[in-house]
Each structure stands twice: as C-alpha cells, then as structure tokens.
Amino acid sequence: MKRRSFLAGASVAGLAAASLATPAIAQGKRELKLVTTWPKNFPGLGTAAQRLADNITAMTDGQLTIKLFAAGELVPPFQSFDAVSSGTADMYHGAEYYWQGKSKAFNFFAAVPYGMTADELHAWIYWGGGQEVWDKVAAPFKIKAFLSGNTGVQMGGWFNKEINNIEDLKGLKFRMPGLGGEVMRRLGVAIVNLPGGEIFPALQSGAIDGTEWVGPWNDLAFGFYKVAKFYYYPGFHEPGTSNSLGINTDVWDSFTATQKTIVQTACMAEANRSLAEFNAKNGDALQTLLTKHGVKLKKFSDDVLKALGEASGEVMAETGAGDAATKEVYESFLASRKNSIGWSKLAEESYFAARRLNFKYG
Ligand code: CA
C-alpha cells in the first residue's frame, strides 16, 4: 500500500492516537541530560538551571526536552564538565571557575578577583569579544558555553573571628573557589574548594574555619550563620559571578538554526532574570541574618582590601602569562575591563556617589 492512500484512509482521531503512542524520539523530540553543580532546586542556582531547562523545553515545543540532574544525581558536581565533554551528559549548568584544573582561562568566564561586575562581564562577553575567546578555550574540550545566570557582587564570606588585618587571615582554613582562592592562599590562608552541598558539614565539623558562598539570600539558605558569626564584605574575589550552560559540541552542532537561537536566547534571558532575582532577594535576607540570627556584618578594612588587591594583581599577571589560549583570554579581558572602568567611573560610580548625598527624597 502506498503511504498516500494509507493516510487518506486513516481517520484524524486514529492518527492522533498513533502519534501519542509513538516514542518521543519518533516525533523528533529529543531528551537531553543536563547535569548541574547545584543541589536540587537550590535558591537562585538550582532553580535558575531548572527554569532554563523548562524554558528551552517549552520554547522548542519539546523538540529539545531538557531533563535536569542535580549535583550527585548523575555525576558528582565537579565532574559535570567531564561528563559533558565525554558525552555522558549533554549539558551542564555550573560556574566556569570550577573547571580551572582544565585551563586557568575558564576562571574569566565566571569571576576573577577584582574583575568585572555583572554588567561589565556582559559587556565583554556579548560586545567585547569575550564569547569568541571563550569558544576558543572550550572547543578542545568539546564544549560550547553561554552565560546563563549571575549572582551580582558576592559577599566576602563567613569567618569565626574578626579580620582586622592580613595577619588575622594567616592559618585559616577557608573555602573559596577559583583565582580568589589562590589570592587568599598567598596571604597565608589554607584554601579548599568544595561544592555547595558539602560546605556546611565541613564548617560544622571544623574541617574549615570559614567559607564564602554567594550572598545573603543563598548563604541564609545554607545556614552558615549557625557556625560562623562574622559576615564580611565586599567579595573582592567575585564581583559578578556568572553561571553558564555548557553544551557538548556534537550536541550543539546537531541543533537546527532555530534550536540554536532558542538555546542562546534562553541563556541570555536567564542571565538577566537570575541577576534580578539575586538583587531583589539579598536585601531582605541580609536583614533576616542580622536581626533574627545575630550575624555581625563587617567591612574588610582598606588595608586588607589593598593587600588582597596587590596579591590579585600578581595572580592575574601570572595567570595571563600562561599558555597561549589563556593569554589571549586575559588580554581580551584586560582591554574590556579597562574600557569598563573608564566608563563606570563617569556613569555608575558617579551616580551612586550622587545618590548617597544627604538630601530628602520621598
Ligand atoms: Ca562564591
């Protein structure tokens, strides 16, 4: 029987029933595995990854059905990159500095000490050549990655004693990822890197003396205030940390042009929505920490911040003098950072200073 005559003879209802019974793959629907470095539905990080997965699924009408696996559900959190690189998973959602063991260059696409704010990072990645150098670094690992979230400026972290000068940092066991951790190490801190879900137990057992994580909203959720009372700012090490969606390049190449546009646009939307969420929720969470949980809010002294800045400058220069790919990323980053600093000084910094002047408003 010819296909045409078969179709002509079939009822519409019969076709619909056959279609429902057909496996997803036969309808052109693909299920893709997304692994994340975050605990399941962790506020702002796990939930952003889930929103992104759901949006891509919805916008492709299920043609790309993204199934999310939280930290440890398919692979341990820090193995997410390898899982996608090898094709065990199709995509990851995490922070690029977790992959600095693969190449130091990855740090630049999450956050580096005294680097860029969220807005400045977006300026670099979207308009300053950042995406191009990122693609070059990630391609040998069979990864194509996009910005897909941002925490804004992070806090300096939780300490079990006051940090009045850099001597107070010496000998502390502290959790901090990326190049910020290397900066602290140079000031005598014993640095460990732990995925989010492992920090609280380490803090509670005394395996670490302190930790940084993100900011008030996220840190409240993990309950660090139960163990450490001194909460320092600003987070010199993470001035606007991006999260990213990394996709196996075979998977990426298999997408249609429409699917690629959808994935890319969904990531950009989530980068924006996620930053707004952190900015919306940090203020109230900070008040809860201070008034309900007796947390002591402290600002690092200028001397401490300057010492951290000098060590950061050294670490960045050494990192930039590494392999050719990292050098290219560093130079692109530095040029964009310089450009942003010049403009930010006239625009945002001047405006913030003006808004703080003493006048009646509302
Ligand atoms: Ca952090």
Q: Ligand 1 centroid vs 261 CA: distance in angstroms? A: 30
Q: How far lies 168's CA from each of 77, 144, 304, 356, in Å?
A: 32, 42, 10, 32
Compute how many other C-beta atoms are within 10 angstroms of the C-beta atom of residue 109: 29
Residue 141 confidence (pLDDT): 98
Residue 10 confidence (pLDDT): 41
Q: What is the Cα–Cα distance from 184 to 191, expressed in whole angstroms?
A: 7
Residue 7 confidence (pLDDT): 40
Q: Ligand 1 centroid vs 198 CA: distance in angstroms? A: 14
DSSP codes joined into one string, 4-67: HHHHHHS-HHHHHHHHHHS-GGGGT-EEEEEEESS-TT-TTTHHHHHHHHHHHHHHTTTSEEEE
Mean pLDDT of 272-301: 98
Confidence of residue 24 (pLDDT cuts 50, 70, 90): low
> Which residue reads 């759901």 in tokens?
54
Token code pair at residue 313: 């400058």
CA 101 to chain centre: 17
Mean pLDDT of 61-87: 97
pLDDT tens for residues 242-283?
999 999 999 999 999 999 999 999 999 999 999 999 999 999
Kindly state the helix (H) or strand (E) to which residue 69 belongs, with its residue range.
Answer: strand 64-69
Q: Ligand 1 centroid vs 153 CA: distance in angstroms? A: 9
Q: Ligand 1 centroid vs 233 CA: distance in angstroms? A: 12
Please give the domain boundaries of the chain with CATH numbers for all domains: 3-152+240-280 (3.40.190.170)
Residue 268 confidence (pLDDT): 98
pTM of the model: 0.90
Residue 28 identity: G
Q: Ligand 1 centroid vs 319 CA: distance in angstroms? A: 20
Q: Ligand 1 centroid vs 197 CA: distance in angstroms? A: 13
Q: Ligand 1 centroid vs 231 CA: distance in angstroms? A: 13
Q: Ligand 1 centroid vs 186 CA: distance in angstroms? A: 18
Q: Ligand 1 centroid vs 360 CA: distance in angstroms? A: 36
Q: Ligand 1 centroid vs 260 CA: distance in angstroms? A: 30
Which of 1-5, 79-83, 130-134, 289-293 bottoms out in mean pLDDT, i.e. has the lowest? 1-5
